[in-house]
Amino acid sequence: MVTAEYVIEPVIALMAVVGLIVAARWASLPGRALPSGVVFDLDFGLLVAVAVVDTAAEVSLAQAALRAQGIRSTWALAMVPLHIDAAGNIVSRPRRRRHVLVFDSDADRAAHALAGA
């Protein structure tokens, strides 16, 4: 019986470590919900993208044009994915773009304000 005590405790400890590893793997699966503020697709909730620009200076210009019309806006950083055509050629590489966002009710006015700017 004395040797069984030396085997049982390490087996219990090993099972606990394996359980923690499995729980950690499950928690880090990509299928889990992303933290708020991380945008990988084009779903901005109640906001609508009215402009897509590359630099922070362009965001400032667009926001100034919208502010002049009394339209509140914000921006979000979103990753434009890699695009490959049917032949396997790379059409565009992934890059970070900035989306100027407004509420849906202001989207038409914002589009007109940015078209005139």
> Phi/psi at 69 (nearest 5 deg)?
-95, 5
Q: Is residue 6 located within the same domain as residue 56?
A: no
**Cβ–Cβ contacts within 10 Å for residue 71, how many?**
19
Q: Which two tokens stand for residue 50?
A: 């009215």
Domain assignment present for 111: yes
The amino acid at residue 36 is S
The amino acid at residue 58 is E
Q: Output the pLDDT for position 102.
A: 92
Q: Is residue 14 located within the same domain as residue 54?
A: no
* Cβ within 8 Å of residue 49, ≥6 positions away: 42, 99, 100, 101
Domain assignment present for 67: yes
Q: Output the pLDDT for position 15.
A: 95
Domain assignment present for 38: no
Domain assignment present for 42: no
Q: Output the pLDDT for position 68.
A: 93
Number of structural domains the chain divides into:
2
Using pLDDT thresholds of 50, 70 and 90, give the confidence band for residue 3: confident
Q: Which two tokens stand for residue 16?
A: 């606990």
Q: Is residue 51 located within the same domain as residue 101?
A: yes
Q: Is residue 68 located within the same domain as residue 97?
A: yes
The 10s digit of each residue's pLDDT in 70-103 is 999 999 887 766 777 788 787 777 677 888 999 9
Mean pLDDT score across all residues of the chain: 81
The 10s digit of each residue's pLDDT in 57-73 is 999 999 999 999 999 99
- Domain range for residue 22? 1-32
The SS3 call for residue 73 is coil
Q: Is residue 56 located within the same domain as residue 96?
A: yes
Q: Is residue 78 located within the same domain as residue 102?
A: yes
Q: Is residue 97 located within the same domain as residue 58?
A: yes
Under a CB-based contact definition with an 8 Å cutoff, are residues 107 and 50 in contact? yes
Give the torsion through C-alpha atoms of 28, 33, 34, 39, to 10 deg: 140
At which residue do the structure tokens 């697709």 appear?
Answer: 41
- Report d(CA 22, CA 53) in Å as an integer: 42
